[in-house]
Amino acid sequence: MLLVILPQGFVWKATASLYYPSNYQGQLIGDVDVTFDLATAQAHFTNLVIDDDGYQYILQMQIMTVESSSYNFFVQTEPFDVEDPNAVVHTGEAAQLTITFNADYDAIVAGKEHVFIINFINNVAPRYPDATFTHVAVAKGK
């Protein structure tokens, strides 16, 4: 359990955004700034929409004081999918896909494999509409 003690006497707000927005085709639309209730430690976003389907979207909220951003911190949601209810569901035999990264893996991908995979699924996979990509892995090339 994480215990965060927030300074009293300030007005707080929460600002929502996509975490690593280049990973997704969709954009976050709606009122992204709302009041953060210090007593309940909650912010209620009532009209946010992601305008395109995609996998493993992560929202990030920046919680900060309004008068100045002297006090602020970030929290992220768990990943979630946005699905098109009219999408075609593919059936058939599954095949393993491993992406071999031949560039500077340690500088670009290492420790951020999940971000690289999300980027691949949302930005490269849509170019192949007759295939569904799940359980993607990435490995360091030679």
- The pTM score is 0.73
Q: Are 63 and 43 in contact (CB under 8 A)?
A: yes
What pLDDT was estimated at residue 70?
A: 78
Residue 88: phi and psi, rounded to 5, are: -80, 130
Whether the CA torsion 115, 16, 25, 125 is positive or negative: it is positive
For the segment 74-112, what is each residue's pLDDT rounded down to a tens digit? 999 999 999 888 877 777 777 777 777 778 888 888 898
Residue 12: both structure tokens together: 């707080």
Question: What's the pLDDT tens digit per position in 35-57?
Answer: 998 888 899 999 999 999 888 99
Better-scored residue on pLDDT, 97 or 3? 97
Q: What local confidence, expressed as pLDDT, does residue 4 receive?
A: 58
Q: Tell me the domain boundaries of the chain.
A: 12-82, 98-140
> Please, is 121 exposed, middle or buried when counting C-beta atoms within 10 Å of its C-beta (0-12, 13-18, 19+)?
buried
Q: What pLDDT score does 32 carry?
A: 97
The alpha carbon of residue 1 and the mean position of all alpha carbons in its chain are separated, in whole angstroms, by 22
Q: pLDDT-derived band of residue 30, with 50, 70 and 90 as boundaries? A: very high
CB 79 within 8 A of CB 50: no
